[in-house]
Each structure stands twice: as structure tokens, then as C-alpha cells.
Chains A and B, each alone.
Chain A
């Protein structure tokens, strides 16, 4: 009755309830690990399926009627990107759970909140219904507020409220967009013209149906008709892209309003400069494991929202805004890297490097080329791995030294060789060294931008500078922390990473190396969906 993807939503919720009721210090962490490993397994299975049998269709689909009157369904399904994100969500949550294995303060509540967060994140990644997407998107905030605000550092209140206020304010207009889309659709639905190429890309039964709707098509005609019912199915909403562009909303085009609403919500989450100021605070104040979740998964929600909602539903606006978004991405890339150079706090440094690296996701998507889009999405996955690793490493050294000041370290290679080597790998992955995963996404995103029209080659050329900057701040940090003479005698007694810490890091390292040397499975899984999306977007021009 409940398929695998719905289990990714239901199981964490049930496990969270058990965590709250158990009043045990030991069981909650095992339950959190179980919930995240379940997500990891299902996401991994779907990702491998897409790697072996590439396709732009949605798999593991399931739809339960929610409210027929609204045309809302509990519809889930993943394409290549959804599967990759689900995999990432499970993996990073599992690593974060291992990091917080010995969490002492109210472990039941803490792990229950992590499980609630997992359920909400999974909801975003598997949703095929805009209402499910929106509910999950907002539900992410509820567990994050106490995770940062109660379990965080000295300035946790300010950080948690700022995070909550920024993201909520960014996304409330999405609600207006949802209702406006529904209101301008006739109750009986509308018939739309669909090019045969779209049917070829998405249909799973040779063109008889598209996204569950019967296709009316005279033989050999390049255009077919599909009758779309009123509702919130994301795929159906995407088919009506032209209708949104024609509909009026307070004198605007509805598509223009809707695109800006989604864009604002996503740019806050990415985060794009100048909407990024909540990120350094949230990262610095959050406990290590929550920082890992924030950087590893939550930032990706913004990219995913653009890919899943903004581009498909409002393609002509996406093209119109692409040059502006390219500039926003470039500013983020350079400003993040420049600001990272000047940070003394290790967590702030990693936070600003995230701003810089997430800019490549935006640049790739904005380039409106398939290569660029694949690059942007690959970057989202690999940045999830490398930034998680960096935050775990910062947590390791903070556990021992109880501070994160770069200047307060030096020569940690001698007492902690494993830590130092892992830090070097993570830094090089972040800096985009070929052979490590960070290189793939940045290269493809830049390639896409170089081949794109208009000002994008120039943007790409300037963005390349950030590779130098990121190498500079990453390697300089490694040098100051790990190499040179031991600066503080008491650091000589620091124990090296223990088995639990290694367990939280090695899977990330392995994936960074594997995907760096052999990115084909990930790229293959993402390519058909990206190509179909770009075809859909370019089709809006005609």
C-alpha cells in the first residue's frame, strides 16, 4: 500500500514519535540512524536505477488521493535529480547522526527533531505535487528553529530567528502563487498542445499517455493535445506553462509573479548574495551535526526548487531572467570566496565557501544549456558531500580545542595525522582539484556558461577566478591549521580521529574520490532529465 518513496516520509515521522515517547538516551540515535539509512537505501536504489537505465521519466511513482475537490494528491516520484537528492539527504543525515552520536542534552528530542527534518527534506525531494512540495518546504523550518535555537551556541537565539524569518519571508509569496495558479484554471481543466518531443521524452508507454493523462494525437502530427485537470501536479502544471504566461494577475503576467515568488524563496535558501547573511550566523551557532545538515542538504533545497518548480512552470521567465541570475551567481561566487579569505572562524570560513560554491549551481542552471544544468546539479550533490566533510572536520577539532579560531591552531599534522590528511582531501575537493568530485560540477557549469549565449562566456571567464581564490583560502587554511610547527604545546596531546569520527567521514571521502574519478553514473542519471527540461524551456521561446 505504501510504496518506498512514501516510506521515506512516513518512516522518519513514526520514528520521531517513538523517539519522543521512549525517554531513552540510547535508542533515539539508533532510530535516527535507521531512518536515514532507509532513505539512503531507497535513494541509492533509485539513483543506481537511473544510472543504469537513464531516462527523464519519474520512477517509484505513487499517488494517494488527498482532496479530489482541490485536485491535490499525495503524489511522489523521483527523476534522476530527485533520486540523487534523496540519496544525499539520507547519507548526510546518517553522517550527522553519527557525528551527534554522543549528544548528551535531551537526546530523544534532538534525534526526533532530526528525523522530522529528514521527513520534511525528503518530502521536498520526492514531491510530484506542488502542495506537497510547499508543505514540506515550509515544514523544514519547524525542526530547524529548535535545532539551532535550543541546541546551538551562545548566539543561537539571534541565529535561529534570523534563519526562520529570512526563509519564511522568502517563501510566503509562494503560497499566493499556488492559489493564483489554481484560481485561474477552469474547474474542468484545460486542453494544452504538447510537442511530440516532450511526449517522447517523458512518456513511459510509447506516447499513449503523458504523466497519466491520455494523449490525443492524429498520426504523424508533431503536436498532440492533452487535457489537463485542475490540480497541483507539478508535471501537469508544467504542461500549462503557456497558460500561466497568458493569465493576468493584478495587471502582471501570472508567470512573472509566480516566477519571482519561487525565485525569492529559492535564492534565500541557496543562498544568493545579498540574501545570504543568515547563513554564517546559522552555521556558526548551530551544533556541528546541524551545520552538516544545513550545508549538506538544506542549501540544496533552493537549487532543487529552481530546477523542479521555477524552470518547468515558468520557462519564458526563466530565460528572461537568466542573464540577471548569471550576474547574481557570479557575485555570489566571487563575494563568497573573497569573504572566506578574511574569516578567522573556521565555521564562518566554510559557510562563505558554501556561498561561493553554491553560486556555481546557480550559474549552471542560469546558463540555459544542458551541460550547464547538469553541472549545476552535480555541483549541488558534490558540494553536499564536501561541505559536510568540512563541517565534520571542524567539529572534530572544536571538540578537542573548544574554539574554532584559525589563528589558534597550527601543526596539527603531528598529533592528528588522520585529521590533517582528511582536511587536505576535503579542502582540495572544495577547491575543485581534478580527480575529486568538486571539479566535475564546477567544470561542467563553467563549460555550460562558456557555450551559452549573451554575456555568459564573460561571466564564466570571471567566475574562473574563484578557482584561484578557493584554492587560496582552502590551502591557506590547511597550512595554518595542519602544517608548520606545533603552535600550542597542549595540542600535542590531542587524540586523533576516533573510529566514530572516521565512520562519519570515510563514506563522504570515498564518494568524493569515486565521483571525482568516475562521475559517469551521476551524470548519466541527471542528463536525460536536464536535457528534457532544457528542451521544455527552449520550447517556450517558439
Chain B
């Protein structure tokens, strides 16, 4: 793929256009008086997502100038991003019904989806930056969506400050790349360094990756996530903790495919560096998670660990198998993570807190939601036969295959073993939540009747459960994804 051959075919952008149109429609509907129009805003967003999803299925591939690359990876990421965004919007339509800020909430969620689509398709640092910023700005408002709540305000503030710093560092790296190579598009950068990777370019690329590491919550760019997740409404975290990760992984893979020569990515030094970063993150996350006393913080550290495991798959690049492993991992992670946060958002409403001590008795008050939460947590922990197991299986298999090959990188095997051990430690942290909601004695109820779970949430939970059960046994899924790339 060279710049000269790049076409500017805007019909490739139909999914993005559908989402942007949905955004405008919601903004317009929100201006109309009356609560009924506010209540339809999530449904408008859902419609836009459905439309965009249809466009993304078997969408044509090609380039939009030198800015965006629409390929198999983009389309996979698009489908996953749109499904997750739609699921959160649907849940919000029920859980947040009749709120006055419903329109603003829907816009924010949809904007995250749009930013994620842009990021996942970016073949140039400009759309990549724009996409990440769109995700970031919408996330900042979304996490601070509990007006007057001290922790929510702190979460939003912290998110803005850390996000701003990460963006700044990323821009710093991008400016150096432009200064050295004279290009912002990945293909041009790749061509400029095709003969060899000078150290300044490596350093600049590392800086430019910080924005992505921030979205993937990799150590040491993870500091914000426990505080932000704890303060934010659980439903907001459902989207903030899932969708940007998918986009970030797609962007990272594309960057390594286009902007860096394959011969450099294949070196043992790159694999060792990425595997080391992954091992540090996964260990940190596992050991810090068991020390937490709040379900949301535990899930935040779980997100850090899961981001690290995807990085281990990326350390096995180049090769579609490694990309497929990362993609399948996200496919198994998304329904479990969304489901867990949706369950927590329901329990949070009952108990007014997600601290482990406050969640006692959830099992007897809401047996089904609690049981499903446990299923999602076990999937996140990677217990077979649930989805998370096969996701981990795919990544570890790649790490072992590349590490144990004749000229393989030993660090990959070591990182894979560390991941396996960290899984056992992290499983304990999930058990802390299970103990709190399922096993702890119920305190006397405060007499307030429980609100029924809204019907849209029931649908989302059912879909997530089905996905977690089915993906755990769909061993043929991994190669199927590799073929779709």
C-alpha cells in the first residue's frame, strides 16, 4: 500500500457517517421540550449503531486518503465497538429512563463509539489523535455524570488531568516522528525508516504510544483507572472500560503493521520489551487487586490485567494469528466485562455503594443478577468452560508458539508463565467479590422495595450471558477470526 495508490472513497465511511448522523439526531431531539423525546435519545443512538453495524458487516476494504485504512482488522473492531456501544445504550435506555440528562448521556456514549471507530481505522497520527481525543472528551463527561457526588467529581478531574498529560506526551512523540521522518501517515513513516530504525524514532514511537497505553490502562499509565472507575457510575464505566480498549488494540496493531518495518517488529528485542511490559502490568494488577475493598476498584485492576494480556498477544506480532488472538481475547472480554459492570450498576443502585462490605446480601435480594455477576467474574478470571478461558488460551498459545519455536523469544514463554500464575492470584480478587455478593450473610433489609431490573437490561444481560457461555466453547472462533483478517 503506497500513498500514490491510495484512493479517497468516502463510501467506505458509511458506519462512521451513520454514527455521526445519530449524534446529530440525538442533539436535535434533546433540544425539543418534553421528557418523551429525552427518553428516545438512547434508542436513536441504538438505531445509529444498528445501521453502522449493518454497514460494517462484510464492508468493502480500501483506504480513505492516507488517513484511514479500512481492512479486515478495522471491520472486526468496528463490529465489536458498535455491539458494545449499542449494549450500553440499550442498558442505559432502561436503567436511566426518565433522567433529565438522558440526552447528554446518550451523546457521550455514542461519541465514544465514534471516536473508537476513528481510532480503530486510523492510518495516520492525525485521525488517531482525533479519535483518542474524542473518546477522551466524551469519557471525561461520562465518568463525572453523578452530579454533586464527590467521588464522581474527583474521578472526572483525575481523568482529565491524567488524560491531558497522556495526550501531551503522545503529541510530543508525534512531533518528533514528524520532525525526523517528515510524515504523519503510518505508511510514509514506515517507508522512511524501512532501511533501519534509528534510536530517536524508537523513542518517539514509544512516546506516541503512550496515548494508547493510557487507554489500555497499562502500568505505569494505569494510575487513574481505579479512582476513576470507583467514582464513576458503573454504567459509564461499562463503556469506558471496554470500547476504548478495543480501539486502542486495533490502533496499536495497525501502527506496528504499517509504521514500523516488519523486520523490526519481528526482532526479539521488541517482543522482549512488549512481553516485559505485559508481565509487569499483569503482575501489578493481580497483586493490587487482591488488596482492594471495593468491587469497582477490583474490576479496575482486572481491566489493567486484561489490557496486559492483550499486549502479550501483540508482542507475538507480526502475523495474523497473533492479531486474531488479541481480537478473540477482546471478543471474550467485552461481554464478560460489560455484563459485570451492568450487574454492578444494578447492585450499586440497591446498596448505594460497591464496597465489598456494602454488597453483602445481594445474593438473597437479587439472586439472578448476583448469579450472572458471578458467571461474568468467573469468565474474567478465565475459568473454563467460560469465554475468558478461550481468550486466554488463544493469547497464551501464541506466546508459547512464538517463544518455544527454534529461534523464539524466551521472554514470551516467561511472560506467559507469569500470566498463568497471575491468573491464579487475580482469581482470588474476583472471589472476594463473589464472597461479598453471594456468600456473605444478608443484613436486615431497609424495607425499601427493590426496583425491578429494566427490560432492556434483561436483554443485554441475556445476550452477554449467552456470549460468555458460547464463546467459551467456540474453539473454531480463533482461526475463523484469523481468516477474516
- Bound pair (A, B): yes
A150 within 8 A of B: yes
Given A142-B383, A175-B396, A168–B417 Cβ distance below 8 Å?
Answer: no
- Give a binary string over B372-405; 1 marks a CB under 8 Å from any A CB, 0 the rest: 0010001000011100010011001100110111
Q: Which of A109, A142, A175, A176 contacts B378 (CB 8 A)?
A: A142
Residues of B within 8 A of A72 (CB): 475
Q: Which of B383, B396, B404, B475 contacts A138 (CB 8 A)?
A: B383
- Do A179 and B439 touch (CB < 8 A)? no
- Do A135 and B389 touch (CB < 8 A)? yes
CA distance A146 to B478 in the complex (A): 32
Q: Which of A149, A183, A184 contacts B438 (CB 8 A)?
A: A149
Residues of A within 8 A of B393 (CB): 175, 179
Given A70-B475, A142-B378, A180-B400, A149–B383 Cβ distance below 8 Å?
Answer: no
Q: Which of B385, B404, B423 contacts A183 (CB 8 A)?
A: B404
- Do B404 and A139 touch (CB < 8 A)? no
Stretch of B87-95, B204-212, B424-432 with 4 or more beta carbons under 8 angstroms from chain A: B424-432
B280 within 8 A of A: no
Q: What residue of chain B has the Cβ atom nearest to residue A257's Cβ?
A: B417
Q: What residue of chain B has the Cβ atom nearest to residue A174's Cβ?
A: B420
Residues of A within 8 A of B439 (CB): 149-150, 156-157, 160-161
- Do B396 and A176 touch (CB < 8 A)? yes
CA distance A250 to B400 in the complex (A): 11
Residues of A within 8 A of B414 (CB): 250
A164 within 8 A of B: yes
A182 within 8 A of B: yes
**How far apart are B411's CB and chain A's nearest CB, in angstroms?**
11
Given A168-B383, A169-B424, A182–B400 Cβ distance below 8 Å?
Answer: yes
Given A164-B431, A165-B428, A179–B416 Cβ distance below 8 Å?
Answer: yes
Q: What residue of chain A has the Cβ atom nearest to residue B396's Cβ?
A: A179
CA distance A250 to B431 in the complex (A): 32
Q: How many A-B residue pairs have CB under 8 A?
A: 96
Given A165-B431, A175-B396, A176-B416, A135–B479 Cβ distance below 8 Å?
Answer: no
- Do A179 and B397 touch (CB < 8 A)? yes
**How far apart are A189's CB and chain B's nearest CB, in angstroms?**
15
CA distance A164 to B385 in the complex (A): 16
Q: What residue of chain B has the Cβ atom nearest to residue A154's Cβ?
A: B441
A249 within 8 A of B: yes
- Do B476 and A168 touch (CB < 8 A)? no
Residues of A within 8 A of B434 (CB): 145
CA distance A150 to B441 in the complex (A): 10
- Do A184 and B383 touch (CB < 8 A)? no
B410 within 8 A of A: yes
CA distance A250 to B479 in the complex (A): 27
**How far apart are A159's CB and chain B's nearest CB, in angstroms?**
10
CA distance A169 to B397 in the complex (A): 20
Given A138-B383, A176-B417, A150–B363 Cβ distance below 8 Å?
Answer: yes
B435 within 8 A of A: yes
- Do B478 and A69 touch (CB < 8 A)? yes
Within 8 A of B (CB), among A136-188: 138-139, 141-142, 145-146, 149-150, 156-157, 160-161, 164-165, 168-169, 172-173, 175-176, 179-180, 182-184
Main secondary structure of the interface of B (DSSP, over half): helix
Q: Which of B410, B416, B438 contacts A146 (CB 8 A)?
A: B438
We find that the number of chain B residues with CB closer than 8 angstroms to chain A is 38
- Do B385 and A135 touch (CB < 8 A)? yes
B157 within 8 A of A: no
Given A168-B383, A175-B420, A176-B417, A183–B397 Cβ distance below 8 Å?
Answer: yes
- Give a binary string over B463-485; 1 marks a CB under 8 Å from any A CB, 0 the rest: 00000000000011011000000
CA distance A423 to B6 in the complex (A): 84
CA distance A18 to B95 in the complex (A): 30
- Do A67 and B413 touch (CB < 8 A)? no
CA distance A157 to B431 in the complex (A): 10
Within 8 A of B (CB), among A169-224: 169, 172-173, 175-176, 179-180, 182-184
- Give a binary string over B215-230; 1 marks a CB under 8 Å from any A CB, 0 the rest: 0000000000000000
- Do A141 and B475 touch (CB < 8 A)? no
**How far apart are A193's CB and chain B's nearest CB, in angstroms?**
23
CA distance A67 to B397 in the complex (A): 14
A134 within 8 A of B: yes
Residues of B within 8 A of A176 (CB): 396, 400, 416-417, 420
Q: What residue of chain A has the Cβ atom nearest to residue B405's Cβ?
A: A183
Residues of B within 8 A of A134 (CB): 384
We find that the number of chain A residues with CB closer than 8 angstroms to chain B is 39
B440 within 8 A of A: yes
Within 8 A of B (CB), among A103-140: 106, 109, 131, 134-135, 138-139
- Do B397 and A250 touch (CB < 8 A)? no
Residues of B within 8 A of A458 (CB): none
- Do B385 and A157 touch (CB < 8 A)? no
- Do A250 and B384 touch (CB < 8 A)? no
- Do B384 and A135 touch (CB < 8 A)? yes
- Do B475 and A182 touch (CB < 8 A)? no
CA distance A135 to B387 in the complex (A): 12
CA distance A142 to B383 in the complex (A): 8
CA distance A173 to B478 in the complex (A): 22
B203 within 8 A of A: no
B291 within 8 A of A: no
A66 within 8 A of B: yes
- Do A139 and B413 touch (CB < 8 A)? no
- Do B424 and A67 touch (CB < 8 A)? no
**How far apart are B380's CB and chain A's nearest CB, in angstroms?**
14
**How far apart are B396's CB and chain A's nearest CB, in angstroms?**
5
Q: What residue of chain A has the Cβ atom nearest to residue B403's Cβ?
A: A183
CA distance A183 to B389 in the complex (A): 18
- Do A182 and B476 touch (CB < 8 A)? no
CA distance A314 to B403 in the complex (A): 22
Residues of A within 8 A of B435 (CB): 149, 157, 161
Given A66-B475, A173-B420, A182–B438 Cβ distance below 8 Å?
Answer: no
Q: What residue of chain A has the Cβ atom nearest to residue B378's Cβ?
A: A142
B421 within 8 A of A: yes
CA distance A175 to B420 in the complex (A): 8
- Give a binary string over A247-271; 1 marks a CB under 8 Å from any B CB, 0 the rest: 1011000000000000000000000
- Give a binary string over B334-359; 1 marks a CB under 8 Å from any A CB, 0 the rest: 00000000000000000000000000
- Give a binary string over A65-81; 1 marks a CB under 8 Å from any B CB, 0 the rest: 01111101000000000
Q: Which of A139, A157, A168 contacts B427 (CB 8 A)?
A: A168
Given A69-B476, A69-B478, A172–B421 Cβ distance below 8 Å?
Answer: yes
**How far apart are A261's CB and chain B's nearest CB, in angstroms?**
10
- Identify 11 residue pairs between A and B in the complex whose beta-carbon atoms are under 8 Å apart, listed by A's number: A70-B479, A109-B367, A139-B384, A141-B383, A142-B378, A150-B363, A157-B440, A165-B431, A168-B427, A179-B400, A183-B405
Interface residues of B, Cβ cutoff 8 Å to A: 363, 367, 374, 378, 383-385, 389, 392-393, 396-397, 400-401, 403-405, 410, 413-414, 416-417, 420-421, 423-424, 427-428, 431, 434-435, 438-440, 475-476, 478-479
Known: A69-B476, A141-B383. 20 other contacts (CB 8 A): A66-B475, A66-B476, A67-B475, A72-B475, A131-B475, A142-B378, A142-B383, A149-B435, A149-B438, A157-B439, A164-B431, A169-B424, A172-B424, A176-B396, A176-B417, A179-B397, A179-B400, A180-B400, A183-B405, A250-B410
A-B pairs with lowest CB-CB distance, top 4: A67-B475, A183-B400, A69-B479, A135-B384
